[in-house]
């Protein structure tokens, strides 16, 4: 039988790429989006969840009745919870209070126990979601802590899958890879593979305004003055994750909340791709990079779109939320000219 699978986990990986035609039309290069929303958990994090849990099983770290604990901004939690259902494990997740309620409801619907932690505290604060997850794992018998920020298998998952897929899909013609960096695993693992194939491929990381990753890459030092609250989920950090291989990244571009939000909605409007907030961040980063480093006509650029926009309906796709942030008609973009709501009286 064709396209029939044993369970949902067999659908992970081998995601499609699609050419972008409108939002990047000012760029002479060919630009493709790698659509990670086509994974069954609707994000690239499916790849690391299955890879890390499979590795733990092989090492005998997971047995019937075990508990899997993880820190997440949402997507990794969905993926871990999904894998745990199929494999019969309990799932405990620590999320930040930046996580929207619908994401938390989604995690609970998948059977996860969810701890909501303050976002704007230092990483080593006992209330941070990093420390809460670590403590829960230590206190829970027969458990493992995924620890995606400091787990080399995060990198390896993408080295084994995402990088080779991109290489094959572009027939080895890729010249630039651009992706948002949170844990850094997606970009690092893909970059590691692609650089081995062709060291001239440019690897561009997208960081958030409010994060320390870009300045750390440039100076090797943590600049705490860079840290301030921001809205984009799943990108940037106030710590340095070991899953981010800085030596594989050629350059970082930093984007702000507003422009990433605008691009996210523009991609939906002009390309009919409902991507998450980081989808817009990736394209905004690409456009900023292209403005400073002119692309050539024969360049082949791949942007990784990490997840699906359905998880951001009450955030970046909400007119009310956009207004609350002050993003509408502020002289940068006229949103009303793009997004209209007609009320029948």
Does this model's pTM top 0.75? yes
Secondary element (H or E) of residue 300: strand 300-305
Provide CATH code, domain 8-43+158-327.
Answer: 3.40.50.1100
- Cα gap 23→26, rounded to integer Å: 8
| Per-residue CA distances from 105 to 167, 204, 205 (Å) | 37, 34, 31
- Enter the tokens of residue 151: 């787990």
Report pLDDT for 101. 83
* Over residues 72-77, mean pLDDT: 85
Catalytic site residue from 25, 34, 45, 197:
45
Residue 204's pLDDT is 98
- Report the CATH architecture of 45-149: 3-Layer(aba) Sandwich (3.40)
* Angle at CA of residue 280, ends 48 and 131, nearest 5°: 45
* Least confident residue range of 145-149, 189-193, 213-217, 259-263: 145-149
Give the 3-state secondary structure of residue 43.
Answer: strand
The pLDDT of residue 331: 47
Q: Do 45-149 and 8-43+158-327 have the same topology in CATH?
A: yes
Going from the C-alpha of 327 to that of each of 207, 260, 277, 282, the distances in angstroms are 20, 11, 14, 19
| Tally: H helices and E strands in the chain | 11, 10
pLDDT at 108 over 90: yes
pLDDT at 334: 53
Extents of the domains making up the chain: 8-43+158-327, 45-149
153 vs 99, 117, 221, CA distance in Å? 25, 25, 25
* 45 noted as active-site residue: yes
In contact, 235 and 181? CB cutoff 8 Å: yes
């Amino acid at each position: 039988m064709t396209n029939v699978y044993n369970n949902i986990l067999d659908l992970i990986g081998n995601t499609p790429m699609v050419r972008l035609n409108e939002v990047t039309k000012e760029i002479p290069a060919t630009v493709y989006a790698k659509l990670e929303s086509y994974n069954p958990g609707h994000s690239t994090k499916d790849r690391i969840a299955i890879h890390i849990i499979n590795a733990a099983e092989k090492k005998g770290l997971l047995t019937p009745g075990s508990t899997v604990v993880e820190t997440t901004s949402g997507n990794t939690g969905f993926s871990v919870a999904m894998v745990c259902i199929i494999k019969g494990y309990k799932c405990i997740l620590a999320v930040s209070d930046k996580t929207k309620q619908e994401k938390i409801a989604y995690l609970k619907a998948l059977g996860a126990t969810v701890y909501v932690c303050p976002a704007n505290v230092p990483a080593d604060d006992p209330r941070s979601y990093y420390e809460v997850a670590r403590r829960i794992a230590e206190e829970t018998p027969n458990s493992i802590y995924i620890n995606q920020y400091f787990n080399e298998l995060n990198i390896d998952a993408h080295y084994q899958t995402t990088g080779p897929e991109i290489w094959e899909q572009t027939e080895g013609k890729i010249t630039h890879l651009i992706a948002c960096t949170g844990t850094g695993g997606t970009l690092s693992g893909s970059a590691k593979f692609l650089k081995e194939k062709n060291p001239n491929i440019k690897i561009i990381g997208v960081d958030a305004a409010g994060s320390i990753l870009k300045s750390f890459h440039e100076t090797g030092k943590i600049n705490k003055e860079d840290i301030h609250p921001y809205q984009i989920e799943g990108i940037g950090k106030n710590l340095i994750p070991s899953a981010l291989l800085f030596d594989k990244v050629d350059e970082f571009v930093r984007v702000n909340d507003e422009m990433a939000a605008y691009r996210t909605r523009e991609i939906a409007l002009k390309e009919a791709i409902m991507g998450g907030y980081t989808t817009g961040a990736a394209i905004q980063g690409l456009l900023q990079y292209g403005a400073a480093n002119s692309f050539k006509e024969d360049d082949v650029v791949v942007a990784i779109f990490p997840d699906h926009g359905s998880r951001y309906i009450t955030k970046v796709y909400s007119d009310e939320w956009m207004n609350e942030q002050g993003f509408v008609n502020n002289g940068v973009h006229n949103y009303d000219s793009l997004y209209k709501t007609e009320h029948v009286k």
